[in-house]
Amino acid sequence: MGLVCTDAKPSAAAAGSAPFFQGLPAVLNMAHRGASRDAPEHSLRAYELALEQGAQVLELDLRATRDGVLVLAHDATLERTLGLPQRWDELTWQEVLSQSAERAPLRLEDVLARFPDVHLNLELKDEQPAVARALAELLKVQQAEPRVLVASAHDAVMHEFRAASGGRVATSAAKREVLLFHACYLLGKGCSVPYVALQLPTIGWLGLTDAAFVEHAHRQGVVVHYWTIDDAERQRQLLLAGADGIMTNQPEVLARTIAALPPRAAAGSPAGAAPAPAADAPAIVFLGDSLTAGLGLPESQALPARIQARLNAAGLRYRTINGGRSGDTSAGGLARLDWYFRDSVDLRALVIGLGSNDAMRGLSLSALGDNLAQIIRKTRERKPDALIFLWALETFPNLGPDYAREYASVFPAVAEREQVQLIPFPLADVAGNPKLNQEDGIHPTAEGTELVADRIWAVLQPALAARPAP
């Protein structure tokens, strides 16, 4: 991957909208190999203790045996943990079992099954691309993709994993990608990246822990995590600089550090952000693309956050979930819909804002209509009492008047056929107005987003108010 810097206004990659971050606090307590100061690293007791001590994410290392079984281990050899001189990739899983007896390591598939609702940060330690493919397949089979963030220092491994997982799993930057990002920062430029997180050592002389660097990452839509910090004062300094997460051997210490900070500093909430509703409040999911995600805007200025502010002001006890993903098509939205049906989401309303990228790619309008209908029907099947709203969209005139007319007709036709509420074109007062759009001429500014929110709210508010109070 080459250096991709730009003079354009930095645009966010909407890290916060990635499924991995949904339901997690803004600042993550990430247990390094579990609570590894108080229990043997990569043991069930270390993982259980970490969760008891306040960790939200288990940060785990992966190695592969000769026959491709993924095990939880940091070192390349079994010497330190099992007293055996061999490398993991020299032994089959059965050979490991026969030589380790009751000290047998954990397999990743066992951990996924034992902790079905826990978020995992998985670091691939091996350099073989085949291991990346094995991990991608296992996460898919185990339906664990939405709750995993994958890391690797090796660029080739990370590239292979992203390709094998089809971009469905959040990733952090590999070593060379970190260096390229840092170069863009030093040049004062934005950059185009395929990852949602920078996971960094605390190298002060490079400026990696400076608040200015963290702010630069946030402007690109990238979160910043640091490893491995057990000292409470150092943790506090990093959090005050804007860190989004810290990996620690002592989650209990970090939990106390986070709790002692002012709420705004601990939560990373910018001034003026809408107060966060309760985590178990009834949810309104905004399923969309970059227009929903808030590309180029702080999270507090993205559309779901602006609707949240209106809900709060109206005394309506709902929480909004930003399900926007930049570049997503109607097919992509359908593919990730199940994530919002999980037990921890009390989905009461779905706002569908998909179709813009279908038009930009010239995709089949018939397929667009079918995908939207499937999203609606699937939601009705899984959440029969949920309100469903569909944006009406229009497309660029340069695609031809016939295509534009047929495209615009898809949305009211689907809404009528599936009997859902149609939201008139939310960008009606914004599209084409350079004062209300960012430099790309496509994505609204904060002021433009407020106008979009007004049009959506005009349909959403009466429907929600007519429902019994949650």
328 is an active site residue: no
User: According to DSSP H, which parts of 2-154 are helical?
Assistant: 44-52, 79-82, 93-100, 108-114, 129-141
Residues 6+ apart with CB under 8 A from 162: 171, 194
Determine the angle formed by the axes of helices 401-418 and 365-382, rounding to 10 degrees.
Answer: 20
154 is an active site residue: no
Catalytic residue among 280, 338, 440, 454: 440
The amino acid occupying position 210 is D
From the list 118, 127, 178, 122, the residue with the least C-alpha distance to 151 is: 122
Token pair of 465 as six digits: 């108010």
Residues 6+ apart with CB under 8 A from 338: none
443 is an active site residue: yes
**What proportions of the chain, in percent to the nearest 5, are helix, strand and coil?**
45, 15, 40
Between CA 357 and CA 43, with CA 150 as vertex, the angle to 5 degrees is 150
Residues 6+ apart with CB under 8 A from 228: 32, 247, 248, 249
Catalytic residue among 43, 290, 326, 330: 290
Catalytic residue among 159, 216, 218, 443: 443
From the list 201, 122, 115, the residue with the least C-alpha distance to 169 is: 122
Q: Which residues are identified as catalytic?
A: 290, 440, 443
